[in-house]
Each structure stands twice: as C-alpha cells, then as structure tokens.
Amino acid sequence: MLLVLSSIEDAFALSHNLDTSYFDKVKNFSENRAKTYLAGRALLQSVLHHFYSIESLPNIKKTEKGKPFFDDVASNPCRKLPFFNISHSRKAIGVAVSSYDLGIDLEFVKKRVRFEELKEKVLSSGEIDLLKALDEESQLKEFTAFWTIRESLLKLSGFGLAHLEKVKVDVANAKISYEALFSEGINNRVLNTVNLSQYASLLDENAYLSYSLYQGEESSIYKLDKDKFIKLASPKINYIYSVN
C-alpha cells in the first residue's frame, strides 16, 4: 500500500493538471467543498502519474453503496488499476492506493459534543475502560484514534456510519469483528492506527490516521511538499488490530 499525505493547499495547487470536467462537477459546490474535492482528485492523479506511470486520472464510478472505484474497462481495458481511498480533515488530506481494496480515515483531535454519551454509544467496554484512566485531553486523543479505526473499516466495506455500531473492537486481544466485510468478500486484513504528530514537518496539530492492509502487505508513507513526493520514516504504530 502506498499512502500520501498532503496539505489541502499543496494538493489543490496540482488541480490545474485535472481534466476540465472535474471543474464542471464542482460549479454548484461551496468554495471549501470544491477545493477539497479538487485537491483529492488532483493528489490522486499525481500519485498515479508518479508511482504508476498513469498519465491522467482514470474514470471513477461508485458502487451501489457509494464507494468510489476506478472503472477499469472504460479507463484501461488492458491493465488492472489499483484500489484507492481518500480522506481529509481540516487542512490535511490523504490518498492511499493498493492492489487490494482498502479504507483510510484521517481525523484531527477535537472537542466532542456530549462526549460521555458518544463514548457509550461508539466504544467497546474495553476501550471505555482504557479511557477512564486518562485526563480529558488524553481521552479526546484516544477517542479520535478509536473513531478512525471504525471509519476506515466502514470505508473499506463501503457502508456508511449506519454500520458504526456493528464494528466490534476487542482491545484485550487486538481483534476487530465486522461481519459486513465478509459479506463483501473482504478478508485477511489488519488495521494500523498512527498519531500523525510524529511527523512534525507535516502537521502542527494532533491527528490520527487509520488504514487497512492485506495481511503481509507492506506499506510506504510519503508527504507531498509542493509538487515533490518525500518518503517518510516508518511510523510508530499506536494500535494494530487483526480484522475477522
């Protein structure tokens, strides 16, 4: 798996390379939504060009559940295109590509409305027990990590937040149960969660990133600096879960 992180500003600066049809799609978007959308598409196109020698962004379709994917037949009938996933939060954006279906989620730490209720609704008993020993600031950080774990799996499956409570996390055994993945024919996955503050040159605020990997799959993380891809050191992993 290849993961590229960027500021939305740097990614958007690449949007002049996109086909004009992408600008037509955002004519009725708000300014912020349009910028984020174009930044994601531009970063994805640049990643494909730099690492896969694919000149232009392939045609993108969506599954019945709304998950985007490359339309191989229309775009390149002679070559299987990679899977991809995009996530953004505030001023940052991430794009991941892989030979296997995947899901990523990027989230900045923030205050939560009705935090106690939210913890009870979203987290497993083991996760709640972990938070009890922490101060509020640390709880918000760990909750953000736990949230990205769920979001990345929901994005992997293609289902939305309606499935949030169906993701069962066993902290003690570092396992996650989410039956919808198997109904979609997705198995043999592990999930990593990292605190992106370890990359001080990339973000100046606390943020977490979770991403799924096929078992045994290697991963590389890059950052976009203006228009250059810079490989980052392997991250310290905060959580590693097997998914079954």
Residue 78 pLDDT: 61
At 76-89, the pLDDT tens digits run 656 689 999 999 99
Residue 166 pLDDT: 86
Closest of 67, 62, 20, 64 to residue 42, by C-alpha: 20
**CATH at residue 182:** 3.90.470.20
Torsion of CA 70, 76, 78, 82, to 10 degrees: -30
The domain total for the chain is 1
Residue 42 pLDDT: 98
Contacts of 146 (CB under 8 A, 6+ apart): 122, 123, 127, 169
Q: How far apart are CA 146 and CA 232, in angstroms?
A: 24
At 112-149, the pLDDT tens digits run 999 999 999 999 999 999 999 999 999 999 999 999 99
Residue 64 pLDDT: 87
Q: Which residues of the chain have pLDDT under 50?
A: none
Give the rounded percent of residues in the chain with a pLDDT score beyond 90. 79
Contact (CB, 8 A) for 165 and 153:
no
- State which residues form the domain around 234: 2-243
